[in-house]
Structure formats: structure tokens, C-alpha cells
């Protein structure tokens, strides 16, 4: 066989080896293109990328054009956020790998206020507290077996919160209310000092559980104290929980008291004073008079245990080095 | 449609403005010159719009004047390889016209940069200062600048306008290969090499790095091809200037372009001898511009190859995996067929018959050795980096590889023609 034929055969084999892989894929490209041809360009993108792209199109229409946007994506879905960034441009975006990255950027004044939650399936404009609630709902409560009180018609929770610190600190109230009676209970819950009220009904012989009592009832992320009044005596358990660290403290049913039990103080120590009454009150703090509005809730940082007096409820919170929150309640 | 017209008219005209070249070479030179001029203008704070207008006016005026003499089109030597070359290009053109961009890097980095530059008319505006999420902030922006020109002229940030640029670069590379190998070896060899090139799956149909993606590896392969052919054609008039331009384009197209340009300069010094000064100066200006620009903008999460290279001795345990990377990927049939097996055989044959083959072999070996060194020193997990980049890096040495095939093919035919 001549060299010329050898060259031709070798070239043909080489070409066939390339075409064997390329030709079917070229045919697939042409077939796909023919299928997409009747559609508009945006519809073609939707066909390629599915409902995810449709949600991006919707966002493009509804987002403010000149305001930066925070793209919050679960770490496993960062690619989706990268592409959302691409399709939303020229809207400026900043990517946050998970909600914690966003909350940790709280001290940054340039952190975007407009939030878009993105995952591999869709993207939507949302609010931080909605994302937080979604995460909390999907997680597990810290207290699985709550220690219920005896049946009583009213509770005063000296502290009630639904707030975040830097990751992982997530403070909330886990609540359980059991109605042991044969009649349904109508429960009036008031969040002070805002004074917002919600009424819940607990059927007879039923139990209501809350993973984030303040947010679930009032739809706000805030701190204060809570007054619970029920038409029937209820058994209740309210825990101040740091969900991120998995620690929980059973809250006492507060009535005016100021003699705070001595205990070790660590970091971020704060004195809290509440006025549970509907009239003005005066707290005496190390001899200094502090006037309090009805239902007031005040806190101030302290370094040593103060002497508190007055017709108020006072307690101290302090954080151990491991991040656990300890409370010193009045005797 | 505007994207298509701009791509087909503007870049070839810009290339022709620098002299009468074949259409493929004119397109690549035009794309390179447009991006480079706008980049250097941006670095010295000439407003991009003014730079675009001046470049456009000069391109149209000078290019049209050169065009009056016509493109030096190569005669279609053989209908079969020409038809074979056209088939995938037509199919890909149909796909590019209809199918939206769908790759990763193209959308995550390259086309996004084109949008950013087109929107802000700047290469160091808010986009490059954290205004939007751009994880590879310091990637060179030659091709995004070309894209920005297209988007600006189209008055749209829609990436459908960019689809033709990337396909155009593949077509131009094929035409460059056809013309240059046709001239350096034989017209038939050129035609067949061009046909083979557009049938290589990694170039034609691979979603990550192929002609329907917005990756820049075909552009690097094309600019490296230009430099390689001018190295072989060193005696031609102004070849050292063109060689320098190709190196500047490499530097400004991708991060690996700079070490690639250094390899070319090192080998080019033996070929051009004293004339290496001109390309060195051109490449130096491009490098300096890149460095100045990078100093002005914050870094992303991209790797700095030059900072990592000194860590080579302490990472030598990775040498095995790095050396094995390319042979393993060369044997991936769905991406390369038996191309690399053929290239190795061709290299052995060609080295015995043609001194120029040694240049091609030296080029391939040096570039792959350099990339292997990067794999050894990388801060990424080497196996993961290799998995996503090795095939695209192999694309960069396609021109010398096709040249070896052409030389070996001609050698066989010549030996067959000799009387026994």
C-alpha cells in the first residue's frame, strides 16, 4: 500500500473518530434549535432553564433598578445565585452564601436592604424575617420535652424575643400551652412595650406549640416581655432559646421582685427592668430613681450586680464564654 | 441581527486596517486589536466611547481602503474538505442564532464582564469595584471588550448579540489554519486541517469551552495559532510585529495568556533573534497595562500563577497527577477522538523530515509543561482543577498539533511519490 493511501486511511480514521462524537451532537443542536425556533427568545430561555428563569424574569420587572440587591442562596445553590446575578444585571447585586452571611454583614452600611432568595428551583423577592422563619420552621425545637407548669390563668414572661445576633446566635421563645380543661380556652397574648395583642384559641384537651412564639404570633422580630391571659387555666412552658447554640432556659412566671440572686457574671451582662403594671412606676437602681412608663421594658449593660428596688421586676442576663446565655432571676 | 452584522463587519475591517490579510486572520487581528486598543485606552483613562469612535472611524476608513484591493482568498483546493468544514459551522451558526447562551464560565464571568463594560463604558467602573458580584474580577477583558463594543452598538445588554463573536472566532481560526498551513505545507493539508479542527468535539460541541459557549479558550487557541504561524513564517514582512500583537492579545485574553506569551517569546528569541525586540516591547506594553489595571481594581478569587510558581518545590508530590493530567484527557474519545494519538505519531514522523516540526513540538511540550507546573502549584484541589480545565488547555496547542499532522501527511505523500 502506498504512503498516499496510508495517509488517506489515517486521515479518514481520524476524521471518523471526531465525527462519531461531533455529528450526533450537532444533530442534537440543530434539532433543539428547530424546536426552539418558533418561540420568543425569552421563551427559549425559559424552555432551557425552566421555571427558575421565569422567576428571574418576574424579578427583573419588580426589583428597583437603582438599588443594590442581596442575593441570598443556600451554599449548595450558589451557582443559581451566580446566574441570577448575570440575568439581573444591570441591577447591582451582592451574593451571600446563606442567610447567616447576610446577617453577619449587618454592621456593613453598604449591605443591600432589598433581598432576593435564590435556589436552584426559583428566585423570589423576600424579607429577612421570612427567610429566618422558613429556616426555623424547617429545623427542630431545642426543648423536646417541656416542663409544663401547673394550671394557671395568667403568665408574665419577663423576656420575650425573636432576634438574631451574629451567627449562630438566634434568640427566640419556644412555647407550649396545654389546655387540660373540658372547655376551649381563649388566650389573649400582649407583647410589651409595643402593646400588640393577639388572641389564640386552644381547643379542649389540646396543646399548642410554638417554635418562635413572638414571630409566629406577632410577625415581628423584636424583644420585650409578654403578658398571657387565658379564659381557662392553662399549663404552660416558655423557654428562652438560643437556637443556633442549642441552649434553653425555662422562664419563670414573673411578678414584681427585685432581689436578684447573686451569681457569676460573664460577658455582655445586662440588667433588665420591666414594669408589668398599667401605671407608672419607679425603679431604684443603686440609689438612683428611674421613672418607668406603664408596661416599660428597659435594659442597660452592667459590670457588677446592682442593688435594685421598686415595684418592678428586675433580672440579669449574662453570657458564658461558650456563648450560653444565663439568667439571674429575682428571689 | 445587529450582533451578527457588527461581528462580521467590524472585526474583519479592523484587522484589514493593519494590512491586507486573509479573512480569518483579519477577523482575529481585528478582534484582538479592538480589545487591546480599548483596554489600553481604558487604562490611560481615555473615555471608552471616544476610543470606540476613533477606533471605529479609523477601522472603517482604513479597512475599507484596504478592502478595495480585496481579501487574499485561498483557492478552495478541494471541494470535500471545504464542504466538511462548512457543515459544522453552518449547524453551529443555526444553533447560535436560536439557542440562548447556557454555559457556566461564559455567563458567570465573560459575558457578564462584557455587559458590565458596555453598561458603564469603563473597565474600572463600579462593576469592577464590587458594584455587582464578579468573582473573577481581575480576569483579562480583551474579549469582553469586543463583546462590549457589540452590545454598545446593538444598544442592548442581551447576550444573544454576543453569540456570533464566539462562533466567529472558531470560524476565523479554521480559516487561519486553512490559509497558513495551506501556505506553509500544502493547500490540501491546510484545507483538511481546517476541516478536522471544526469537527473536534471540544471545539465544536462541548458545552463548556465549545463554540456555542462564551469561554475564551478558542480565542486563546486562535491567538496562539496566529503567533505560532508567524513564528514559522518569521521571514515574512512585519511578521515580528504581528507576532508581538498575537502575544499582546494572549496576555489580555486570559490569565494563562501571560505565561503562554512568555513561552512564545522564549522560543521566538531563537527564531527572530535580534528582531525579537519589537514583539517583546509590544507584549511588555500589554503586560504593563494589565498590571496597572489590576492594581486599580480589587482582586477576586482568581489564582496568581506567578505567586504560586515559587511554591513548586514543596508541592512536588502532586507531580504525578499533574503529569498524568494531559495524557488522560488526550485519550477522552468523546472530546478528542484519536486526534492526540495521531498528533503524537505525526510528531514522530514529522520530526525526522522537517526542522519546523521541532518548533511545533517544542511549543506543545513547553506549554503543556507550564500548565502541568500550574497544576502542581495550584491552591485548588489539583484533580478537580484538572477535571474542569485540562481539555480547554489542550485547545491552546491545536495549531502546532495540526501543523504536525499536515507535515507528517505531506511527508508520507512525498515518500510515496519518490521512485523506488
- Locate cell 458603564: which residue? B120
Whether A241 and A285 map to the same domain: the answer is no
User: Can you list the alpha helix ranges (DSSP code H) found in B99-233?
Assistant: 105, 111-120, 142-154, 163-184, 187-199, 201-204, 217-232
Q: How many beta carbons lie within 10 A of that of residue A14, not counting itself?
A: 21
Instruction: Classify residue A51 by burial, with Cβ atoms within 10 Å: 0-12, 13-18, 19+.
Output: exposed
pLDDT tens profile A99-140: 999 999 999 999 999 999 999 999 999 999 999 999 999 999
Q: How many beta carbons lie within 10 A of that of residue B313, not counting itself?
A: 8
Q: What is the distance between the alpha carbons of residues A36 and B89, in angstroms, rounded to a whole number?
A: 19
> Do the chains contact at B204 and A6, CB–CB below 8 Å?
no
Model pTM? 0.88
> Do the chains contact at A29 and B107, CB–CB below 8 Å?
no
Q: How far is B355 from chain A (nearest CA, A)?
A: 20
Q: Does A60 touch chain B (CB under 8 A)?
A: no
Is A188 domain-assigned? yes
Whether A237 and A157 map to the same domain: the answer is yes
Whether A94 and A172 map to the same domain: the answer is no
Q: Does B207 touch chain A (CB under 8 A)?
A: no
DSSP assignment of B370-398, as one string? HHHHHHHH-SS-HHHHHHHHHHHHHHTTH
Find the closest chain B residue to A19 by CA distance. B199
Q: For residue A147, what pLDDT band results from cuts at 50, 70 and 90?
A: very high
Is A17 domain-assigned? no
Q: So what's the pLDDT on residue A1? A: 59
- Locate cell 456555542: which residue? B212
> Do the chains contact at A26 and B91, CB–CB below 8 Å?
yes
Find the closest chain A residue to B416 by CA distance. A3
Find the closest chain A residue to B159 by CA distance. A87
Domain residue limits at A182? 147-254
Q: Does B108 touch chain A (CB under 8 A)?
A: yes
| Cell numbers found for residue B97 | 442564532
Name every residue whose Cβ is closer than 8 Å to that of residue B58 and which is 6 or more positions away in sequence: B17
B141 phi and psi angles, rounded to 5 deg: -125, 25
Which of chain A's residues have a Cβ under 8 Å away from the Cβ of B88? 22, 26
> Do the chains contact at B99 and A4, CB–CB below 8 Å?
no
User: Can you list the alpha helix ranges (DSSP code H) found in B186-313?
Assistant: 187-199, 201-204, 217-232, 239-253, 257-272, 277-296, 305-308
Find the closest chain B residue to A43 by CA distance. B100
Whether A174 and A114 map to the same domain: the answer is no
Q: So what's the pLDDT on residue B71? A: 66
> Do the chains contact at B100 and A48, CB–CB below 8 Å?
yes
Whether A249 and A160 map to the same domain: the answer is yes
Is A135 domain-assigned? no
Q: What is the distance between the alpha carbons of residues B117 and B144, in angstroms, rounded to a whole number?
A: 8
Is A6 domain-assigned? no
Which of chain B's residues have a Cβ under 8 Å away from the Cβ of A10? 342, 409
Q: List the single best residue of B95, B185, B414 to mutate versus A (max A Cβ within 10 A).
A: B95
Which of chain B's residues have a Cβ under 8 Å away from the Cβ of A89? 112, 115-116, 119, 132, 157
Task: Indicate the residue of B95, B195, B334 with minimum beta-carbon distance to A33.
Answer: B95
Instruction: Single out the residue of B221, B263, B259, B264 nearest to residue B244, CA to CA.
Output: B264
What average pLDDT does range A303-309 have in this prediction?
90
Q: What is the distance between the alpha carbons of residues B73 and B138, in angstroms, rounded to a whole number?
A: 39
> Do the chains contact at B135 and A30, CB–CB below 8 Å?
no
**Radius of gyration, CA atoms only, chain A:** 30
Provide the domain count of chain A. 3
Instruction: Single out the residue of B7, B12, B21, B9 nearest to residue B241, CA to CA.
Output: B21
Residues of chain B with pLDDT under 70: 70-77, 412-420
**Radius of gyration, CA atoms only, chain B:** 20
Is A33 domain-assigned? no
Whether A203 and A116 map to the same domain: the answer is no
Residue A258 has pLDDT above 70, yes or no: yes
Q: Does A31 touch chain B (CB under 8 A)?
A: no
Which of chain B's residues have a Cβ under 8 Å away from the Cβ of A68? 131
Q: How far is CA A312 from the centre of its chain?
A: 32
Q: How far is A56 from chain B (nearest CA, A)?
A: 14
Whether A304 and A231 map to the same domain: the answer is no
Whether A311 and A223 map to the same domain: the answer is no
Q: Does A94 touch chain B (CB under 8 A)?
A: yes
Whether A209 and A232 map to the same domain: the answer is yes
- Bridge partners (DSSP) of residue A309 are A284
Helices and strands, counts by H and E, chain A: 7, 19
Is A161 domain-assigned? yes
Contact (CB, 8 A) for B102 and B207: yes
pLDDT: is B21 or A97 the higher one? A97
Whether A60 and A81 map to the same domain: the answer is yes
Is A302 domain-assigned? yes
Domain boundary among A215, A234, A254: A254
Q: What is the largest CA-CA distance in chain B?
A: 73
Whether A184 and A219 map to the same domain: the answer is yes
Whether A227 and A278 map to the same domain: the answer is no
Q: What is the distance between the alpha carbons of residues A83 and A121, in angstroms, rounded to a whole number?
A: 12
We report the CATH number of the domain holding residue A162 as: 2.60.290.11
Residue A226 has pLDDT above 80, yes or no: yes
Q: What is the distance between the alpha carbons of residues B301 and A321, in angstroms, rounded to a whole number?
A: 34
Domain boundary among A195, A220, A254: A254
Q: List the single best residue of A1, A4, A6, A7 to mutate versus B (max B Cβ within 10 A).
A: A7
Task: Indicate the residue of B108, B212, B415 with minimum beta-carbon distance to A86.
Answer: B108
pLDDT tens profile A40-74: 999 999 999 999 999 999 999 999 999 999 999 99
Is A205 domain-assigned? yes
Domain boundary among A228, A254, A280: A254
> Do the chains contact at A89 and B339, CB–CB below 8 Å?
no
DSSP assignment of A265-280, as one string? --EEEEEEEE--SSS-
Q: So what's the pLDDT on residue A155? A: 93
> Do the chains contact at A92 and B126, CB–CB below 8 Å?
yes
Convert B46-56 to b/e letters by CB count within 10 Å (16 or more is b).
eebeebbeebb
Contact (CB, 8 A) for B165 and B143: yes
Q: List the single best residue of B85, B89, B91, B99 to mutate versus A (max A Cβ within 10 A).
A: B99
> Do the chains contact at A15 and B196, CB–CB below 8 Å?
yes
Amino acid at each position: 500500500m502506498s504512503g498516499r493511501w496510508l495517509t488517506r486511511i489515517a486521515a479518514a480514521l481520524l476524521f471518523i473518530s471526531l465525527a462519531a462524537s461531533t455529528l450526533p451532537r450537532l444533530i442534537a443542536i440543530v434539532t433543539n434549535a428547530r424546536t426552539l425556533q418558533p418561540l420568543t427568545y425569552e421563551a427559549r430561555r425559559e424552555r432551557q432553564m425552566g421555571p427558575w428563569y421565569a422567576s428571574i424574569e418576574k424579578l427583573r420587572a419588580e426589583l428597583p433598578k437603582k438599588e443594590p440587591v442581596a442575593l441570598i442562596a443556600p451554599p449548595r445553590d450558589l451557582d443559581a445565585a451566580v446566574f441570577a446575578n448575570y440575568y439581573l444585571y444591570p441591577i447591582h447585586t451582592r451574593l451571600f452564601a446563606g442567610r447567616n452571611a447576610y446577617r453577619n454583614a449587618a454592621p456593613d452600611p453598604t449591605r443591600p436592604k432589598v433581598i432576593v432568595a435564590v435556589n436552584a428551583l426559583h428566585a423570589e423577592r423576600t424579607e429577612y424575617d421570612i427567610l429566618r422563619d422558613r429556616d426555623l420552621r424547617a429545623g427542630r425545637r431545642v426543648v423536646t420535652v417541656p416542663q409544663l407548669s401547673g394550671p394557671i390563668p395568667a403568665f408574665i414572661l419577663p423576656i420575650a424575643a425573636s432576634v438574631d445576633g451574629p451567627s449562630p446566635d438566634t434568640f427566640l421563645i419556644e412555647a407550649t400551652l396545654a389546655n387540660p380543661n373540658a372547655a376551649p380556652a381563649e388566650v389573649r397574648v400582649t407583647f410589651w412595650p409595643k402593646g400588640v395583642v393577639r388572641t389564640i384559641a386552644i381547643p379542649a384537651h389540646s396543646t399548642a406549640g410554638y417554635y418562635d412564639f413572638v414571630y409566629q404570633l406577632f410577625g415581628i422580630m423584636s424583644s420585650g416581655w409578654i403578658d398571657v391571659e387565658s379564659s381557662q387555666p392553662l399549663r404552660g412552658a416558655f423557654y428562652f432559646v438560643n437556637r443556633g447554640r442549642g441552649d434553653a432556659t425555662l422562664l419563670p412566671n414573673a411578678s414584681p421582685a427585685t432581689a436578684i440572686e447573686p451569681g457569676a457574671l460573664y460577658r455582655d451582662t445586662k440588667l433588665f427592668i420591666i414594669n408589668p403594671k398599667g401605671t407608672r412606676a419607679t425603679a431604684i437602681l443603686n440609689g438612683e430613681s428611674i421613672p418607668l412608663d406603664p408596661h416599660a421594658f428597659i435594659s442597660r449593660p452592667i459590670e457588677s450586680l446592682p442593688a435594685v428596688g421598686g415595684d418592678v421586676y428586675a433580672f440579669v442576663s449574662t453570657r458564658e464564654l461558650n456563648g450560653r446565655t444565663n439568667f439571674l432571676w429575682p428571689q | 441581527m445587529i450582533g451578527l452584522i457588527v461581528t462580521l463587519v467590524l472585526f474583519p475591517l479592523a484587522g484589514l486596517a493593519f494590512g491586507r490579510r486573509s479573512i480569518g486572520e483579519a477577523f482575529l487581528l481585528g478582534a484582538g486589536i479592538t480589545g487591546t486598543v480599548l483596554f489600553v485606552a481604558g487604562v490611560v483613562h481615555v473615555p471608552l466611547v471616544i476610543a470606540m469612535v476613533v477606533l471605529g472611524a479609523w477601522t472603517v476608513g482604513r479597512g475599507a481602503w484596504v478592502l478595495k484591493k480585496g481579501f487574499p482568498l485561498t483557492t478552495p483546493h478541494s471541494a470535500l474538505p471545504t464542504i466538511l468544514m462548512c457543515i459544522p459551522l453552518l449547524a453551529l451558526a443555526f444553533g447560535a442564532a436560536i439557542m440562548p447562551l447556557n454555559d457556566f464560565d461564559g455567563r458567570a464571568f465573560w459575558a457578564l464582564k462584557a455587559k458590565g463594560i458596555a453598561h458603564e463604558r469603563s473597565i474600572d467602573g463600579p462593576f469592577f469595584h464590587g458594584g455587582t458580584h464578579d468573582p473573577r474580577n481581575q480576569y483579562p477583558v480583551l474579549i469582553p471588550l469586543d463583546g462590549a463594543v457589540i452590545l454598545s452598538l446593538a444598544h442592548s445588554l442581551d447576550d444573544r448579540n454576543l453569540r456570533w463573536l464566539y462562533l466567529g472566532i472558531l470560524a476565523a481560526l479554521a480559516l487561519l489554519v486553512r490559509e497558513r498551513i495551506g501556505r506553509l505545507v500544502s493547500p490540501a493539508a491546510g484545507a483538511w486541517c481546517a476541516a478536522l479542527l471544526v469537527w473536534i468535539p471540544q471545539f465544536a460541541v462541548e458545552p463548556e469551552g465549545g463554540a456555542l459557549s462564551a469561554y475564551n479558550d478558542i480565542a486563546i487557541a486562535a491567538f496562539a495559532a496566529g503567533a505560532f504561524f508567524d513564528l514559522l513564517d518569521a521571514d515574512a514582512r512585519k511578521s515580528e510585529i504581528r507576532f508581538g500583537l498575537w502575544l499582546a492579545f494572549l496576555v489580555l485574553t486570559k490569565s494563562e495568556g501571560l505565561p503562554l506569551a512568555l513561552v512564545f517569546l522564549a522560543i521566538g528569541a531563537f527564531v527572530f533573534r535580534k528582531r525579537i525586540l519589537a514583539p517583546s516591547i509590544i507584549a511588555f506594553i500589554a503586560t504593563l497595562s494589565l498590571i496597572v489595571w489590576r492594581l486599580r481594581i480589587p482582586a477576586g478569587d482568581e489564582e496568581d500563577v506567578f505567586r504560586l510558581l515559587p511554591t513548586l518545590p514543596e508541592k512536588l508530590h502532586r507531580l504525578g497527577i499533574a503529569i498524568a493530567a494531559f495524557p488522560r484527557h488526550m485519550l477522552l474519545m468523546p472530546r478528542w477522538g484519536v486526534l492526540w494519538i495521531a498528533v503524537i505519531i505525526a510528531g514522530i514522523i514529522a520530526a525526522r523530515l522537517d526542522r519546523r516540526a521541532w518548533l511545533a513540538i517544542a511549543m506543545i511540550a513547553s506549554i503543556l509543561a507550564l500548565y502541568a507546573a500550574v497544576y502542581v502549584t495550584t491552591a485548588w484541589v489539583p484533580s478537580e482543577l484538572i477535571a474542569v480545565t485540562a481539555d480547554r488547555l489542550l485547545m491552546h496547542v491545536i495549531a502546532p498539533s495540526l501543523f504536525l499532522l499536515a507535515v507528517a501527511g505531506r511527508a508520507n505523500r512525498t515518500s510515496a511519490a519518490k521512485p523506488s
